[in-house]
Chains A and B, each alone.
Chain A
């Protein structure tokens, strides 16, 4: 019970409270600043493990897909190849193994395998995927932006004003209206969303720190 329940709860309490308390002290308060700094460094390491967890998950699900020859299994194979190619050469470059000077270019300007994959494969593929959005947005705007009711009309008018206000031919007439829309109605709505989400995150964090929310421990109901 101590290892499965009380110790994790105690660690969570400390990991949650220390940064909060440290926030209210100046740099010379080493009694709290030092453990806080240690926790922050530790968090970077933990996030590295989260990345590893993601890799394991991708491997498991895609290997299963290839084994069962599910629809699109060839794409899964390409995905795994890409992940291991970049992962192996990236790690080897970072550790300067096999004569690699890093993950950038060799001194003569020739790209390392990681840099080659990044510049000539990853970058154009990602750019292409995002660029395709322009075509689909145009098609979706044609079909979806209709003066059906009041809400749809407001949305349509706002969208057209912002689109015109953000281009040279329209900013003379619509620029100030667009800026006002961004600052006042949009600013007010965004602020409400941000404050609401922050309050929600703070209350959930408090529940976790105080041990009220325990689902992350993966305990049975009887425990």
Chain B
């Protein structure tokens, strides 16, 4: 028996494929992960039930998911917006940390009523995140320094500054832990409903603002054009310098808001290692949602489900935390691979014995 694998480019992707692939690929990733679960003597069906169904139907699961989604959506936008201008912001993590630190400092050292203090913390965070993102943007716009490298490396600078501050000037609370004092009531983001803090509103507003920016404004037109062909855009009088700086600074501000809302809304104090790498998870979120800000939001929600469902599975079945990360990573890998199947058709031919050539009715040569 002969088996042959063929790969052909698709002329166009059918609609069912566009909507179907995410579903199929998530199922496929879970099927592969199930092998690991079975090895650990855990029933995969029950584990996945906990991971997805319980997360989505219990009140606790839903509020946790929405809370986690806030920083994921905001950092997702922080990568999405530069992506539209043809830039890769790999440093959303650093912008998130820089913003969270600045916002925390304001929250701990300024006394104002809550209605003024929380917005001020957001502004301070946005400014810090914007500056942190502005550095790679300026270097790229002015001297063509690769923004992937600079934004990534600045993340480690931000993390080291965080370490220093939490072990030095900003350290607080009982014991010698790398953490800050607890926020006062006024510095805490109020609850919106059922355990979800008002940072959700901020995230939704930013999704809408980004959507409007990209689809309804002149600036969005310029960003799209610079992202597609920066030389033609400049010839038409658009400023690449301005666009590059803008998308990065605004993106950095988004990531920073994600950071401060997580600290002031969910954590209550700045603890080193308070977040599991939202800024890096933001990259697949932005890639999956690259067609619209609303898709970024959906992708952010999906990753929140993975995070929350993963930890409840960890608790309920005693599976190692590493396995949960493996499942999340597999889902990301499968989703990205699925992009390949949208543009290529893979076929497997099975032939028995020598290939028969179908006899075409020959027309006589006249």
Task: Indicate, yes or no, whether A interacts with B.
Answer: no
Residue positions of A touching B, CB distance < 8 A: none
